[in-house]
Amino acid sequence: MLHQSRILAAVVLIAVLTCTPLAIANNGDPMAVTKYQQDTQITDQVVTNDCNGEQVILNGTMHFDYFFAIDADGDRTHYDVTSTERLTGVGQTTGARYVSSEKFHENDITRFGQASDTRQTFKSRLVAQGPTPDLITRHVVRVIINRSGSIVVNIDKSTASCR
Amino acid sequence: MFHSSKLVAVLGTLLLAAAASAQNQPTTYIYDAYVDNQTTVNTCSAAENVNLNGTIRFSYQVTPDSSGVNHFAITAANNLTGVGQTTGANYTAAESNEYDANTPDSSKEMTVELSSDLNSQGASASMTLVQALHVTVDTNGSIAAEVVSNNTSCGGAN
């Protein structure tokens, strides 16, 4: 089941929706900024509550706002990613319902035009819509962005716990 | 106030962990940043200031692969107490997260978030604390880290 959820969650995002050139200064070194955003659907992703073994099916969206800035001589690239996760969940045994809305932010600086390749754990609270305790989900998410604006997101692992 | 707090955090003690016992295992480098009266605001009730104290332990390993890419694996773990400046409410937080980065460069600079439950030790509501952490590491074991910001939201574990 986890394997299935990984497959479903391993969403590859390449489309570019917006592109907004700007100009800012950083330490006196002008930078060119390009902004992008991307939505992707999370469909029937299954996580297991490790406190009681119940499977919870998640649906919703992950929204990515990201930009990168390149300094004038091109040796430093500043990547900025904000991810907003909005999910609903349904427990497959109890029928308990959950709602999650979390935002994550990360900056990464690379040199000489290298892509940003990072991985971290996104911790979210699935708020129960009733007497059931809340759940905490942890998604290990790898994000790769290059200077053409392409983004690849892969959820390497997802877990859920009551604490 | 907050600026000085950041400076205190930057001046935390740099510790070099003992080399891994196995010859092929990468060395773990450790740095303790001290959180000294950093202030966050309880955005859930009355906008009360909450003073934070404790440590954030940064540890990392770097492993090069055959293609010359360095894999940095950085862990940040906080151990904090908080005191509400109006109500006197007490809070604790203890959480960790790992941040990985792959780069051909010999150093890595990133700003990440560490989200932890700020657990009330009494009747006050718990919160979620999100700390923005600026971290720079290199292949020689040097590490610099600071807390850029502390923000709260409602909904921590009770």
Reading the block at residue A61, the tokens are 């969206």
Q: Is B103 an 8 Å CB contact of chain A? A: yes
Report the pLDDT value the prediction gives residue A143, as an integer from 0 to 100: 93
Q: Is A131 an 8 Å CB contact of chain B? A: no
Q: Is A106 an 8 Å CB contact of chain B? A: yes
Report the pLDDT value the prediction gives residue A72, as an integer from 0 to 100: 82
The pairs formed by B83-88 with CB atoms below 8 angstroms and a separation of 24 or more are: B83/B50, B83/B51, B84/B42, B84/B48, B84/B49, B84/B50, B84/B124, B85/B48, B85/B49, B85/B50, B85/B51, B86/B46, B86/B48, B86/B49, B87/B48, B87/B124
SS3 B10: helix
Report the pLDDT value the prediction gives residue A27, as an integer from 0 to 100: 52
Q: Percentage of chain A surpassing pLDDT 70?
A: 80
Q: What is residue B43's DSSP assignment?
A: T
Report the pLDDT value the prediction gives residue A31, as an integer from 0 to 100: 67
Helix (H) or strand (E) holding B75: strand B70-84
Task: Render pLDDT for A57-96 as a digit per residue (tens, 0 to 9).
Answer: 999 998 999 999 988 888 889 999 999 999 999 999 999 9
Strands (E), A49-134: 55-71, 76-91, 97-111, 116-128
Report the pLDDT value the prediction gives residue B108, as an integer from 0 to 100: 95
Q: How far is CA B76 from CA A19, A21, A121, B29, B84, in A?
A: 34, 34, 12, 12, 24
Q: What is residue B125's DSSP assignment?
A: P
Classify strands B90-103 and B107-120 as parallel, antiparallel or unpaired: antiparallel
- List CB contacts (< 8 A) between B103 and chain A: 110, 114, 117
Report the pLDDT value the prediction gives residue A112, as an integer from 0 to 100: 86
Which parts of chain B register pLDDT below 50?
Answer: 1-22, 158
- List CB contacts (< 8 A) between B97 and chain A: 120-121, 123
Residue, of A143 and B19, whose pLDDT is higher? A143
B102/A117 touch (CB, cutoff 8 Å), yes or no: yes
The closest alpha carbon to A82, from A61, A99, A69, A67, belongs to A67
Average pLDDT value for chain A: 81
Determine the residue of chain A that is closest to B100 in CA distance: A119
Residue, of B143 and A147, whose pLDDT is higher? B143
Classify strands B48-64 and B29-42 as parallel, antiparallel or unpaired: antiparallel
Mutant choice from B67, B111, B135, B148 vs A, greatest count of A C-beta within 10 A: B111
pTM of the model: 0.80
Distance, CA of A124 to CA of A135 (rounded, Å):
8
**Mean pLDDT of the A141-152 span:** 91
Residue positions counted in chain B: 158
Using CB atoms, pick whichever of A106, A111, A163 lies closest to residue B105.
A111
Report the pLDDT value the prediction gives residue B157, as an integer from 0 to 100: 53
The closest alpha carbon to A137, from A121, A125, A149, A129, belongs to A125
Distance, CA of B15 to CA of B103 (rounded, Å):
24
**Mean pLDDT of the A131-154 span:** 90
- List CB contacts (< 8 A) between A111 and chain B: 105
State the smallest CA–CA distance between residue A145 and chain B in angstroms: 12
Complex ipTM: 0.78
Which of B141-152 are b and which e, b meaning 16 or more Cβ less than 10 Å from the residue's Cβ? Answer: bebbbbbbebeb
